[in-house]
């Protein structure tokens, strides 16, 4: 007897697809909806190569209330929703704010409006450490102040958190967990699924792997004059499989009603910061592949340093990031090689 159906919106995306696999491994029946706006249908083959059984999938845009409603009518007995479907590029959000607000906000509103009609109480929401801006104190705890967002993307994450909070106050039946991700990297150890950036990558790891593969000429390191030991920015890079497993624990917690409040927030990171140059050197030593690079100007809007205090997630969820950084870097490279 399985543990029940879980709706995974954005389930063919990077974090969504890894979570689908971990939900399956944990005995759940994940059901994917995705409009493939930033992912490929071939991800379903990758998932199946790991799980050995086909996963249920429907092409649905979460902005489309009527399609969502029809979908809920068909799948009456879902236990929880893991809501990943959203746009995620900081730079693009500056040039396309309306589509970011519409996509990220309307999708959540549609789900929240439909959930009570179909007796679904539980939702896990993908937020980001971006809500903390440049924190005054490190590491950041869940109580660290929320800073004014520096991009429409960041604004959508903050607004969605506010919406979930207000919904939780208005409806005590509702159970939400907000997960604030630090920087997800790496790929499944099978190299059957991984990150599939559209066009020129913005994020560090895909840019490194594409440069290592000769697709990009060189990595541009954005600034070496920050107030950090080697001058480059510091982030908390967390393996995507560790991140995916945290979603399973969060969903267990909601379904088993172990949550202490009807809305909870957890930081998902490793608790360790790494600089851009450390990641670059780590990649070279983990893979034996040289990555040409140059130091260039700072990137507008970048935060100098941020890493997570993971005490709350460790203690309350009983979850901890386990995969070493070298393994994450190697898995990212193995995935890149498979894409050639």
What does DSSP assign to residue 305? B
Which of the residues 213 through 252 are near ligand UD1 (CB under 6 A)?
219-222, 233, 235
Part of the chain binding ligand UD1 (CB under 6 A), chosen from 97-105, 165-173, 298-306, 308-316:
298-306
207 binds ligand UD1 (CB under 6 A): yes
List 153, 181, 207, 237, catalytic entry? 153
The span from the CA of 155 to the CA of 102, in Å, is: 12
Smallest distance from the beta carbon of 38 to ligand UD1, in angstroms?
12
The span from the CA of 340 to the CA of 328, in Å, is: 19
Q: What angle do CA 48, 54, 58 make, to 5 degrees?
A: 110
Q: Out of 202, 262, 272, 314, which residue is the one contacting ligand UD1 (CB under 6 A)?
A: 202
Closer Cβ to ligand UD1, 151 or 175, answer by number:
151
Smallest distance from the beta carbon of 3 to ligand UD1, in angstroms?
29
Smallest distance from the beta carbon of 300 to ligand UD1, in angstroms?
10
Instruction: Locate 150 and state its tokens.
Output: 């520096």
Q: Does residue 11 sit in helix, strand or coil?
A: coil
Which of the residues 261 through 290 are near ligand UD1 (CB under 6 A)?
276
Annotate 110-138 with DSSP letters as a single string. HHHHHTGGGT--EEEEEEEGGGG-S-SSS
Q: Reply yes or no on whether 153 is catalytic.
A: yes
Residue of closest CB approach to ligand UD1: 233
38 binds ligand UD1 (CB under 6 A): no
b/e 82-121 (16+ beta carbons within 10 angstroms → b): bbbbbbbbbebbeebeeebbebbbebbbbbbebbeeeebb
| Interacting residues with ligand UD1 (CB under 6 A) | 88-90, 128-130, 183, 202-204, 207, 219-222, 233, 235, 276, 299, 302-303, 306
């Amino acid at each position: 007897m399985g543990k029940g159906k879980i709706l995974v919106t954005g389930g063919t995306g990077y974090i969504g697809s890894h979570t689908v696999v971990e939900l399956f491994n944990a005995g759940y029946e994940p059901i994917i909806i995705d409009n493939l706006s930033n992912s490929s249908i071939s991800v379903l083959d990758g998932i199946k190569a790991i799980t050995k059984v086909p996963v249920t999938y429907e092409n649905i845009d979460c902005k489309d209330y009527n399609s969502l409603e029809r979908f809920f009518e068909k799948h009456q007995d879902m236990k929880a929703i893991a809501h990943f479907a959203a746009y995620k590029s900081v730079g693009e959000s500056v040039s396309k704010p309306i589509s970011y607000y519409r996509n990220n906000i309307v999708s959540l509103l549609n789900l929240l409006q439909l959930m009570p009609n179909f007796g679904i109480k539980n939702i896990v929401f993908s937020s980001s450490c971006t809500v903390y801006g440049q924190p005054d104190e490190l590491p950041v705890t869940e109580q660290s102040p929320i800073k004014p967002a520096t991009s429409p993307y960041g604004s959508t994450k903050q607004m969605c958190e506010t919406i979930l909070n207000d919904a939780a106050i208005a409806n005590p039946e509702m159970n939400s967990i907000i997960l604030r991700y630090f920087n997800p990297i790496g790929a499944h150890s099978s190299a059957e699924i991984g990150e599939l950036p559209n066009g020129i990558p913005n994020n560090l790891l895909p840019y490194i792997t594409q440069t290592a593969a000769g697709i990009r000429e060189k990595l541009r390191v954005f600034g070496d004059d920050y107030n950090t030991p080697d001058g480059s920015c510091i982030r908390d890079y967390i393996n995507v499989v560790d991140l995916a497993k945290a979603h399973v624990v969060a969903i267990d917690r909601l379904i088993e009603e172990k949550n202490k409040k009807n809305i909870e927030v957890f930081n998902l990171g490793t608790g360790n910061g790494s600089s851009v140059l450390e990641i670059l050197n780590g990649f070279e030593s983990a893979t034996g592949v040289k990555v040409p690079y140059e130091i260039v100007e700072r990137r507008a809007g970048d935060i100098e340093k941020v890493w997570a205090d993971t005490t709350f997630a460790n203690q309350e969820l009983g979850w901890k990031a386990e995969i070493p950084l070298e393994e994450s870097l190697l898995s990212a490279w193995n995935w890149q090689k498979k894409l050639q």
